[in-house]
A and B are shown apart, each in its own frame.
Chain A
């Protein structure tokens, strides 16, 4: 075996998106030696693709906005399943985190009085999303990246070494978390994508900030990086996942041509005035306002159109309902034969504003459609349909510190869970990354400072991780059994897409679990060609085991939740069931000691229900009793100041 490279740090951050970078900045500012590891080049993480904006109740455009309103919107969007503590911290701290980006050099679009401009988005009562045209994620990641460089420059000025206290290990993939004999975090194991060489990091605190799982689905807005690595690493390290049944399908992905199917069309198009239409030219969303939102949305096209200019006296357009509602509505329109030629619906901004205005507000959408689909969005409508976009489920964390149940293991960003409940509002992710990235950095720093001794990595774990990583280069006993990783991946994506997608049934999910079980067996025989240098086939083979574990977590959880809520819609249980509101589903690795040895590659998972802690009284009081009664069972509302009629 080739020699393994070793590094020692105080805090190891896995992931260089918004969450990971913000966490690393915090840990380094606390004086700790910090490393960031990421699969792509520095500055290319998924966060770079975010378009619409970053939600924060700064009240720059409408001064009625406040953290309380933002908190309420977030809870409604998540159908009250959210970790209310996370939603509270998020709503309170997001403005400070956005302003802080300006001190790093970010240049958001401005209001007339020179403040940060804010745009409308689905589910947000007031214009709330700080943005830069439709490339907000780029601004966010570049500002954080430049802050990292600034910190490195400080270290260089002080001691001549840019990387003395903060180093980025780019194009390096972590495949296993390492623990010591007492079960505390000791570091991580990975390989350089470029050379295939192994790396061992020793660190008493690891922050997972690996993003989402979308590459397990066929039609997705997510890139190759989104293979659920952090989710699976946490499971294998002994931590829990929650809410894995909640997967967000964004209502507007491109549908044509096939090679771009799934690529995102930002919600900013609707926030800025674009409307959805079916093949009859009807603005169909008016027919899809669900009971829980009755009275909160415009009932006529005139009112909806007036709302863009006068929000005090009009209600918002139902085109801006939360994403789960819009995605289901589009699904129904297409199914009932009112879709566009390529199986989507129309998103029309061309007829709503002058061409120059569209190009100024939505430059990257204009560019994207022009270049990739030959469509001029200033002259004709776009064709759009649902695409797998975001996972609400993730690693179970303490809201205040990002700590998981494993000592020394922290998580933040899309791979963590709780903040968004059953459905995320657009724009709430970028702010989530900043708020909880910082908190995880603080949490991990506090943990390291409190340690009396540093946990040590175990050689046998390193040897086992190396053996697992190299297994795909071995030919199976019968070479005819050899499996191609690309084939397995596309079968897995198809199973998840077709059977655990936007609308679910018991029969289909059972079938999905069956197919995943077979893929699990075939994964043992996966074989890759070539050598270890920058070999994408090998990288995929190693990612597959993560996708498999995550796929099983999603399908098993979805099968157990016998109701429809947010990003989980069951054809066989089509309504929201208040009894399920406080119940969350927790995934962990099966503790079955006599399971087959091969399962160390992708250990099996179990899912069990648990209770969410009841909302603090002062937060509960922010809602009208009448609204809460749509979500809660009677007995749960006794604490509400409006009397909380007790259970019948």
Chain B
């Protein structure tokens, strides 16, 4: 049940590169990452690709397959025909380091710009009480494996390098929402979402949601509710004031 698969893999570095064609054995049940590993072991020992868990848990192996942002370890070969040419390229939004490996430091920089969890000052460790139903929304966002595929996809940065400065991207706007919806977080995060993290630039196309391998409803559950909170504040300063006071207890 094995066959010779046809692959086209981008190879190169900061100075440029090109797609290269390969013919390589493919076996039943394999994923694209298995085939790339076989290429390393038999034809291109220095082919650069990131991976760790091989089970969709660590978010290391992000790349684009036939132009679509995907995890290499969760893309099964059975979704392609045996005659298809499978094209594998690095994530387009981030600078290439080598072959399929890109420089994702933008994401780590953005992570630092989101103020951390802020619990009530007088709440001792061990005294945290939260209902399951109240933690579920933030838990959904905490499923994020930081594959950065949503960041890769979002046209706000994909097509406009210059927006990177002012736009945190779906992953980190969702982080703001996660903290905003954390039952015990006392910081006010709504104005910064709009003014510092660039929520206003998102025009809810949902492309990020479509590529998320964790199936997180980034747009519907994080971005739109945050936009609503921003809008509420704008039109009703009293609501804003009242909310701030009640949140601070």
- Residues of A at the B interface (CB closer than 8 Å) are 40-44, 46, 48-49, 95-96, 99-100, 102-105, 107, 109-110, 113-115, 117, 132, 135, 138-139, 142, 146-147, 149-150, 152-153, 156, 162, 194, 223-225, 256-260, 263-264, 364, 367-368, 371-373, 484-487, 490, 528-531, 533-538
- Residues of B at the A interface (CB closer than 8 Å) are 13, 27-31, 34, 40-41, 45-60, 74, 76, 97-99, 101, 104, 108, 111-112, 115-117, 119, 125-126, 128-132, 135, 138-139, 142-143, 145-146, 179, 182, 185
A44 near B52 with CB under 8 A, answer yes
A59 CA to B186 CA in the complex, in Å?
A: 28
Which residues of A sit under 8 angstroms from B49, Cβ to Cβ? 536
Question: Please, which residue of chain B has its CB at the minimum distance from the CB of A537?
Answer: B45
> Of A48, A147, A150, which one neighbours B57 at CB under 8 angstroms?
A48
Min CB gap A427→B, angstroms: 17
A152 near B182 with CB under 8 A, answer no
Which residues of A sit under 8 angstroms from B40, Cβ to Cβ? 486, 536-537
> Of B13, B41, B76, which one neighbours A533 at CB under 8 angstroms?
B13
Min CB gap B117→A, angstroms: 3
Which residues of A sit under 8 angstroms from B55, Cβ to Cβ? 49, 260, 263-264, 368, 372
Question: Please, which residue of chain B has its CB at the minimum distance from the CB of A42?
Answer: B108
Which residues of B sit under 8 angstroms from A146, Cβ to Cβ? 116-117
A372 near B142 with CB under 8 A, answer no
A223 near B116 with CB under 8 A, answer no
Question: Please, which residue of chain B has its CB at the minimum distance from the CB of A97?
Answer: B125
A486 near B45 with CB under 8 A, answer yes
A49 and B112 in contact (CB under 8 A), knowing A138-B145, A528-B46?
Answer: no
A95 near B116 with CB under 8 A, answer no
Which residues of A sit under 8 angstroms from B135, Cβ to Cβ? 107, 109-110
Which residues of A sit under 8 angstroms from B34, Cβ to Cβ? 259
Question: Please, which residue of chain B has its CB at the minimum distance from the CB of A156?
Answer: B112
Which residues of A sit under 8 angstroms from B29, Cβ to Cβ? 256-260, 372-373
A44 near B58 with CB under 8 A, answer yes
A464 CA to B36 CA in the complex, in Å?
A: 34
Which residues of B sit under 8 angstroms from A147, Cβ to Cβ? 116
A371 CA to B53 CA in the complex, in Å?
A: 14
29 contacts between A and B (CB under 8 A): A40-B50, A44-B52, A44-B59, A48-B53, A49-B55, A49-B58, A99-B125, A100-B125, A105-B185, A107-B182, A109-B132, A109-B139, A110-B130, A113-B129, A135-B57, A149-B116, A152-B112, A258-B27, A367-B56, A368-B55, A372-B74, A372-B76, A484-B45, A529-B46, A530-B46, A533-B48, A534-B98, A535-B45, A536-B40
A153 and B115 in contact (CB under 8 A), knowing A96-B125, A114-B131, A534-B97?
Answer: yes
Which residues of B sit under 8 angstroms from A260, Cβ to Cβ? 29, 54-55
A96 CA to B13 CA in the complex, in Å?
A: 47
Min CB gap A128→B, angstroms: 16
Question: Please, which residue of chain A has its CB at the minimum distance from the CB of B123?
Answer: A103
B57 near A49 with CB under 8 A, answer yes
Q: A103-B128, A109-B132, A138-B143 are in contact. List 8 more A-B contacts (CB 8 A).
A: A41-B50, A110-B130, A162-B112, A256-B29, A364-B57, A371-B74, A486-B45, A537-B46
